[in-house]
């Protein structure tokens, strides 16, 4: 992704990331917090619940801040594929010369990853300044950490006077904090069972929540090949302009030579994506369709689109690290994503064994993910996650009770990874997956070796 900003608030985002120590939220910090770690700790104490769906609190503080951006906003919702779609959108717009902001979550190693412009992360100082503005405006209004961070991110983007902004929904859509900002184009990438406690237990219910980002007379892009009826019905109720993959736009071809079609627009011989996985063509198609719908306001040439498709990248999404044994990092954390991961592994030749390093959050379908991956894994190496929502080692081992082959437990994902590195042979492969926290630990360690 080309650099699109020279602001002192942002730091370069390279292929290896700037992987420093993860900011913690332990301990206490006064309201006059000065470091980013202190601000993050402060946001953890402001509301009784870490996740509390609703827009009333965050909208009230938005209004107190006078935070009503004028630049075009792309809002991206979906069970899986949100991050990739955001990266593809940003890369194409950046290639066209626009200064583009992206707000995404969660982060892999540093909180700064959540707020970026072009190929740069927001600096600690920039984020702290934005947090102080949120704090001043909220007065006695409580906010969840995500609500606080969403307002801060938008403050950064407004201060930077950007050309466009891409907002990734954190959870659901209808009641997610990013939905206080009206989208000029809304995208739903996929609908699968996840976050049932908040979104419902059926695809219909989950689709309804995700379609909550649709707006009247605004393009609504859906990249799910078999969407629940609630997507179309919600679009109709909101008078949104629904555009469905397989009906209004489509793609096909091979990984190295694919095509895209939408109305009177046809692109052939499109370049291979650096984002691995067959499903990435659907994400790229959603991004292309979204850009076409806003081309009068944000013109993007075919040349820039091709450059962006080639440049887009996103750590932790079937990320293959060169060397022997092969190391694959994937944040797959639900059965839908695990199915895609399993498919990618099946079509990737391997002459040796497959070692799995797994750590997940307690509120995920751990048993479902394990069952999908089990036929491909020869040796399981699992760990607990020491975070509020993290599954313990005992819970992880319980989910492995029916798996075939070897299974070992470790105190952390990093110790599991290091143990596997000692046991694996050059022809083997190591697959690290299950959560952003798990993959982030490994990325941070690998970066430290190259520091």
What CA–CA distance (Å, rounded) separates 39 from 46?
11
Decide if pLDDT at 2 tops 70.
Answer: no
Residue 231: CB atoms within 10 A of its CB come to 23
Torsion of CA 261, 267, 270, 276, to 10 degrees: -20
pLDDT of residue 10: 63
| Whole-structure pTM value | 0.90
pLDDT class for 273, splitting at 50, 70, 90? very high
Q: In angstroms, what is the C-alpha Rg of the chain?
A: 21
And the tokens for 202? 């059926």
Average pLDDT over the chain reads 90
Which residues are CB-neighbours of 316 under 8 A, at least 6 positions away? 108, 329, 330, 331, 436, 439, 440, 443
pLDDT in tens, 313-344: 999 999 999 889 999 999 999 998 999 999 99
pLDDT of residue 26: 35
What CA–CA distance (Å, rounded) separates 317 from 341?
9
pLDDT of residue 11: 55
What CA–CA distance (Å, rounded) separates 91 from 25?
32
pLDDT class for 232, splitting at 50, 70, 90? very high
Residue 82: CB atoms within 10 A of its CB come to 23
Annotate 219-273 with DSSP letters as a single string: EEEE--SS--HHHHHHHHHHT-EEEEBTTTEEEEE-SSSEEEEETTEEEEEEPPP
pLDDT of residue 5: 45
pLDDT class for 31, splitting at 50, 70, 90? low
What CA–CA distance (Å, rounded) separates 422 from 450?
19
And the tokens for 377? 């894994």
pLDDT in tens, 408-451: 999 999 999 999 999 999 999 999 999 999 999 999 999 888 76
> What CATH number labels 10-311?
3.40.1190.10
What CA–CA distance (Å, rounded) separates 236 from 228?
14
- The ranges assigned to domains in the chain are 10-311, 319-450
CA atoms within 13 A on the CB side of 407: 18
pLDDT class for 198, splitting at 50, 70, 90? confident
Name the CATH topology of 319-450. 3.90.190
pLDDT in tens, 80-102: 899 999 999 999 999 999 999 99
pLDDT in tens, 307-317: 999 999 999 99
Decide if pLDDT at 32 tops 70.
Answer: no
pLDDT of residue 233: 97
Under DSSP, is residue 151 helix (H, G, I), strand (E, B) or coil? helix
């Amino acid at each position: 992704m080309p650099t699109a900003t020279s602001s002192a608030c942002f730091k370069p985002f390279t292929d290896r990331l700037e992987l420093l120590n993860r900011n913690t939220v332990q301990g206490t910090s006064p309201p006059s917090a000065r470091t980013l770690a202190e601000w993050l700790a402060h946001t953890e104490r402001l509301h009784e619940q870490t996740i509390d769906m609703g827009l009333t609190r965050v909208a009230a503080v938005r209004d107190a801040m006078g935070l009503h951006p004028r630049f075009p906003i792309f809002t991206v919702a979906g069970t899986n594929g949100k991050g990739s779609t955001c990266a593809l959108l940003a890369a194409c717009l950046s290639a066209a010369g626009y200064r583009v902001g992206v707000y995404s979550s969660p982060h892999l190693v540093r909180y700064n990853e959540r707020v970026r412009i072009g190929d740069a992360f927001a600096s600690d100082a920039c984020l702290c300044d934005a947090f102080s503005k949120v704090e001043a405006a909220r007065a006695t209004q409580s906010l969840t950490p995500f609500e606080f961070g969403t307002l801060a991110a938008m403050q950064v983007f407004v201060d930077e006077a950007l050309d466009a902004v891409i907002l990734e929904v954190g959870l659901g859509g209808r009641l997610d904090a990013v939905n206080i900002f009206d989208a000029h184009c809304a995208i739903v990438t996929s609908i699968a069972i996840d976050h049932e406690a908040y979104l419902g237990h059926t695809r219909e219910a989950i689709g309804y929540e995700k379609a909550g980002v649709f707006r009247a007379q605004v393009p609504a892009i859906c990249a799910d090949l078999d969407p629940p009826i609630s997507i179309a019905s919600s679009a109709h109720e909101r008078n949104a302009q629904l555009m469905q993959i397989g009906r209004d736009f489509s793609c096909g071809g091979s990984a190295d030579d694919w095509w895209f079609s939408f109305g009177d627009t046809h692109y052939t011989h499109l370049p291979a994506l650096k984002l691995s996985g067959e499903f990435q063509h659907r994400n790229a198609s959603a991004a292309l369709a979204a850009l076409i719908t806003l081309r009068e306001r944000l013109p993007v040439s075919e040349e820039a689109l091709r450059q962006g498709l080639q440049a887009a990248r996103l750590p932790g999404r079937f990320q293959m690290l060169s060397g022997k044994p092969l190391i694959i990092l994937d944040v797959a954390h639900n059965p839908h994503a695990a199915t895609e991961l399993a498919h990618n592994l099946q079509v990737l030749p391997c002459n040796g064994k497959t070692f799995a390093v797994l750590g997940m959050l307690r509120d995920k379908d751990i048993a479902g993910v394990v069952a999908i991956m089990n036929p491909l894994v020869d040796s399981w190496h699992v760990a607990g996650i020491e975070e509020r929502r993290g599954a313990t080692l005992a819970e992880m081992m319980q989910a492995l009770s029916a798996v075939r082959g070897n299974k070992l437990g470790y105190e952390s994902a990093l110790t599991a990874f290091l143990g596997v590195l000692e046991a694996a042979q050059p022809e083997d492969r190591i697959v690290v997956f299950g959560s952003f926290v798990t993959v982030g630990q490994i990325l941070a360690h690998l970066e430290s070796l190259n520091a």
